[in-house]
Structure 1
Amino acid sequence: MTTVNLEALDLSALLCSRVCHDVISPVGAIVNGLEVLEDDQDESMRDFALDLIRKSARQASARLQFARIAFGAAGSAGASIDLADAEKVSRGMFADDKTQLAWSAPQALFPKNKVKLLLNLVMIATQAIPRGGLIDVTVSGDGEAPTLLLTAKGSHARIPPHVEALMAGTSETGTVDAHGILAFYAGLVARAAGMGVTFAIEGDTVTIRAEPAPAGQPAAEEPAAAPAPPSDGDSPDTALA
């Protein structure tokens, strides 16, 4: 495995690409519904179009609200986030006919990066059950030393490909694309929050556990530091860790 060296601009571009990917489908459906309303006078088709617009608008709003906390600043530096807000945006984003979400967490403010990590792990948990199922989220402990436990149970459950390496800041090629940026970003957030993340699978259940990294050990399997700049003055890309 090779350490991924990613410029800040590339990281922001890949995250923007991920958000746009999540939002473009419901926004496109809204556009299609509006076109039907403009061109079709059949009453049943107009009712269908209105229903499509309503559902797609709610879906787009839910995805943007989720992204605002999971990827955005969500307040000033050092701010805390209410776990109730994290539950609300998670249910809006994922709870549907395909995937059910169970949530058990205290009513409390937690440090921003720990809540951002939790939301990103919820997204990874959905990838672990591609055919749907149940995601059970449990948060225990206080904000300074919490344990985040997520279990994803469903048909064909698997640990998402490359997720463990990318969370550790590595990949086979030393690069990351828009498909892998979520896991890479989750690793960055985990290290910023001082949390270690582990994955396990047994049968049709994938377990994701995040807890404070032991003292003296790197959080989330932090990759080795980049080599020192060459003496000729050329400087290598800076790794985001």
Structure 2
Amino acid sequence: MVKNPNLTLAGSDLAALLCSRVCHDVISPVGAINNGLELLDEGGADEDALDLIRTSALNASVRLKLARLAFGASGSVGASIDTGEAEKAAKDFAAAEKKTEVIWNGPRAIIPKNRVKLLLNLFLVAYGSIPRGGSVDVTLENPEFDAKFTLVAKGRMMRLPPKFMEINSGQVEEAIDAHSIQPYYTVMLADEAGMVLKAEQTPEEIIFTATMATAAT
């Protein structure tokens, strides 16, 4: 049950905006696959075209796999997910992008679905905080019970994501759209999981944490 009064999107609007976000993420690699096929049809640059198709197909695949876990149902209501699936999805996503290293620490566990979705959405927020690449260090502590997730992002041009900070603080000045739906969904998942989100920046890194509300008080 949603307790945060600032999370006011209707279910249909939430679904529509998440679908728009997923389409935005995959349209570029799918378009590149089409360009590669057109090159093959024209009979030129066969090897270059095949490389473009292979790279773009991989990029689309890892984005969809991450989206399935982060945004999709991934099983029945109330289902649990292996955190190993989340680790693989995050690492494959970063490997395909070829600009950010993901380090994953902590025990592998089967935990409630929404907690895994929160972890992956917080990963996407952390990943977006270093647009020029770098590293994201993910640490899971006691994931099955009083869970704590810590994600440390390091890289050039680091910045705390403004939309995430606004939504998490309850100070949303503009309507939620396809660009801000992912941080909104992250905050909503934390609210439903009974976890508190925090983010802080130092000169060397940005630290994101998700802590059980009972432990954070």
User: Does the TM-score normalized on the shorter chain lie above 0.5?
Assistant: yes
Q: Percent identity?
A: 47
Indicate conservation of the 8 Å contact 1:83/1:105, yes or no: no
Match of 1:55 in 2: 55
Kindly state the Cα deviation for residue 190 of structure 1 after the two structures are TM-superposed.
0.5
Kindly state the Cα deviation for residue 169 of structure 1 after the two structures are TM-superposed.
5.0
- One-letter code aligned to 2:173: E
Match of 1:123 in 2: 124
Kindly state the Cα deviation for residue 90 of structure 1 after the two structures are TM-superposed.
0.6
Stretch deviating more after TM superposition (56-65 or 88-97): 88-97
Kindly state the Cα deviation for residue 204 of structure 1 after the two structures are TM-superposed.
3.1
Larger helix proportion, structure 1 or 2?
Answer: 2
Local SS of the residue matching 1:102? strand
Local SS of the residue matching 2:214? coil
Higher RCO structure (Cα 8 Å, ≥6 apart): 1
Match of 1:191 in 2: 191
Structure 2 CA distance, aligned partners of 1:118 and 1:56?
26
- Normalised by the size of structure 2, how large is the TM-score? 0.92
Local SS of the residue matching 2:77? coil
Match of 1:30 in 2: 33
Structure 2 CA distance, aligned partners of 1:216 and 1:98?
33
Indicate conservation of the 8 Å contact 1:4/1:171, yes or no: no
Stretch deviating more after TM superposition (3-12 or 96-105): 3-12
Local SS of the residue matching 1:207? strand
Deviations 1:147-191 (A, max 9, x none): 100000011211111212213554113x21111111111111101
Unaligned ranges ≥5, structure 2: none
Structure 2 CA distance, aligned partners of 1:216 and 1:91?
29
Indicate conservation of the 8 Å contact 2:166/2:172, yes or no: yes
- One-letter code aligned to 2:184: F
- Root mean square deviation, CA, Å: 1.8
State the structure with more CA Rg.
Answer: 1
- One-letter code aligned to 1:53: I
Local SS of the residue matching 1:162? helix
State the aligned residue count. Answer: 212
